[in-house]
């Protein structure tokens, strides 16, 4: 879906033309690398996000969203719930459906406590796997545990990532029922700039109960369900850049 942009880049390079770096080519309209994004940049949108996949629910969740004409952003890990290569088809399925694929690190560590080189390794290892699977690397990431301190800003700026946190916590990770999660959205309301919630595709209740409710809630409030990239004024092409493949098929 986004590989034609890469093909144009490679053709220009082969012809000897001067072209910008892949990050600058793709990310002209989005926030600068290292920016911490908490909410959308415009009203009338809602950017659903799902952490910790790929998981057994990924394809079903993509189907629920696609049937409703909705887009969302997935933040997968490399090894949290098994090896990402073992569910490569689920990552590809989400990408092909027009969902945004971001990064949630390789092992889901406490990144705020890591040294710069450890954090680079976490990010570049997942980058390589995603290039192997979908052909590009993300330019958006969500830090595990929403940690943005320590070496995070420096390393994410260096690697070309925008840092996505949230302004609504569904609480699914904390045992909230779907009804309790729904209350978090109702309290936040649909006015002002769009929300970026914290949710996880690893909970059946989030996929099969909360997400359909959110689709209805968004419709009732005239909210478009978009990717994080779109909600901050970026293009979907800007959500990706060229990366170096890991050339692996296992973790």
pLDDT tens for 84-104 read 999 999 999 999 999 999 999
pLDDT band at 65 (very low <50, low <70, confident <90, very high): very high
**DSSP tag of 194:** P
Told to judge if 108 belongs to the known catalytic residues of this protein, a careful annotator would answer no
Per the residue annotation, which of 104, 108, 195, 200 is the catalytic one? 200
Whole-model pTM? 0.89
Is the model's pLDDT at 68 over the cut of 60? Answer: yes
Residue 250 within any structural domain of the chain = no
> Is residue 160 in some structural domain?
yes
Average per-residue pLDDT in the chain?
A: 90
Cα–Cα distance between 66 and 61 in angstroms, integer? 9
Q: Is residue 52 part of a domain?
A: yes
- Quickly list H helices, 68-197: 88-96, 116-134, 152-159, 178-188
User: 104 catalytic, yes or no?
Assistant: no
Check residue 239 and give its pLDDT.
Answer: 97
What 3-state DSSP class applies to 169?
A: strand
Does residue 128 belong to any structural domain of this protein? yes
Q: Are 111 and 150 in contact (CB under 8 A)?
A: yes
Our count of domains for the chain comes to 1
List the catalytic residue out of 29, 51, 89, 121: 51
- Looking at the domain assignment, is residue 204 inside a domain? yes
Map tokens 């990431």 to a residue. 141
Residue 101 within any structural domain of the chain: yes
Q: Answer whether residue 246 is part of any domain.
A: no
In angstroms, the first-to-last Cα distance of the chain is: 26
Residue range of the domain that includes 25: 3-241
Give the SS3 label for residue 161.
Answer: coil
> In this predicted structure, what is the pLDDT of residue 8?
39
C-alpha torsion angle, residues 64, 69, 73, 79 (rounded to 10): 30
Give yes or no for a contact between 157 and 188, defined as CB atoms under 8 angstroms apart: no
Indicate if the alpha-carbon torsion angle 36, 119, 124, 196 is positive or negative. Answer: negative
Q: What's the CATH code of the domain at 135?
A: 3.20.20.370
In this predicted model, what pLDDT tens digit does every residue of 4-59 receive, in sequence order? 334 333 333 333 333 333 333 344 468 999 999 999 999 999 999 999 999 999 99
Rounded Cα gap, residues 60 and 120, in angstroms: 32
> Does 225 fall in a domain?
yes
């Amino acid at each position: 879906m986004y590989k034609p942009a890469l093909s144009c880049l490679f053709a220009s390079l082969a012809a000897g033309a001067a072209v910008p770096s892949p990050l600058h080519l793709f990310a002209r309209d989005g926030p600068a690398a290292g920016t911490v994004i908490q909410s959308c940049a415009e009203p009338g949108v809602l950017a659903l996000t799902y952490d910790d996949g790929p998981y057994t629910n990924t394809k079903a969740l993509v189907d629920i969203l696609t049937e409703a004409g909705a887009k969302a952003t997935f933040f997968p890990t490399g090894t949290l719930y098994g090896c990402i290569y073992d569910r490569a088809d689920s990552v590809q399925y989400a990408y092909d459906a027009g969902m945004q694929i971001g990064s949630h690190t390789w092992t889901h560590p406490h990144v705020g406590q890591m040294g710069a080189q450890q954090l680079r390794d976490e990010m570049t290892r997942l980058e390589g796997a995603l290039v192997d699977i979908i052909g590009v690397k993300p330019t958006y990431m969500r830090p595990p545990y929403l940690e943005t301190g320590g070496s995070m800003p420096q390393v994410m700026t260096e690697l070309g990532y925008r840092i996505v946190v949230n302004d609504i916590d569904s609480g699914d990770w904390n045992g909230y029922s779907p009804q309790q999660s729904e209350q978090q959205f109702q309290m936040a309301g649909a006015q002002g700039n769009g929300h970026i919630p914290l949710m996880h595709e690893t909970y059946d209740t989030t996929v099969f109960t909360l997400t359909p409710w959110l689709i209805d809630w968004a419709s009732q409030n005239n909210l478009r369900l978009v990717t994080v990239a779109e909600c901050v004024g970026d293009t979907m092409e800007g959500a990706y850049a060229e990366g170096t493949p890991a050339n692996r098929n296992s973790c």
